[in-house]
A and B are shown apart, each in its own frame.
Chain A
């Protein structure tokens, strides 16, 4: 069963912020929100994760709503190299728990 819902595709102009939404209305109290991306013909790359507070790192920001039923990944200044499939995944935080990949959002960054 899909635990997250993402739009199948989004477009973004180079240099603009890319805001990728994710719905996870059935998230449990001990589940984190993880974001990965997969550039064509490569393995997934970890981006960021959070439990309930907003998080920021050198790649992106993660905004989680107060009820934790949805979140937004923000790439502040998208580049052509950010073109990829972005996956939003919810799972418990321990390292041995599995990641279940949905279909993700194909983000196309254009010049």
Chain B
């Protein structure tokens, strides 16, 4: 089946640091990638949708200048949390889809971000 790789799986850093998370589709062209955030005991909340080569579309309430998304190729999207603070600590999950096929979205294994 389709594989989506997310890296790193776990990161701890100091407040004020910027953190980059990578999401790769390993065996299909990811024309569309999605970024989600999940707080403890809650469901996944969509943060933004990105199409390859275009600017990301952010959900209401998500700061585009704080959560920078780049989707420059058909296999890689990155999410950079800029100047992270403790309230940004969460589980970040990406998913990828080939919008030209009927295949479902496939998810990475998530990145647990802890800001001290």
The chain A residues found within 8 Å of chain B, CB to CB, are 34, 36, 38, 41-46, 49, 87, 93-96, 98-104
Contacts and interface: CB of A to CB of B under 8 A. Distances in A.
Contacts of A99: 34, 46, 95, 105
Interface of B: 1, 4, 6, 31-32, 34, 36, 43-46, 49, 51, 91, 93-95, 97-110, 112
Q: Is the interface of A mostly helix, strand, loop or mixed?
A: loop
A95 B97 CA distance: 5
Contacts of A44: 44, 93, 95, 107
Nearest to A42: B109
Given A46-B105, A49-B104, 5 more contacts: A36-B107, A43-B4, A95-B97, A96-B99, A101-B43
Contacts of A49: 104
A59 B83 CA distance: 42
B112 A95 contact: no
A95 B44 contact: no
B44 A101 contact: yes
A103 B51 CA distance: 27
10 closest cross-chain pairs (CB), A and B: A96-B99, A43-B107, A95-B97, A95-B99, A101-B44, A96-B32, A101-B43, A43-B110, A44-B107, A43-B109
Contacts of B46: 98-100
Given A43-B6, A44-B107, A95 B31 contact: yes
Given A95-B100, A96-B97, A96-B99, A41 B112 contact: yes
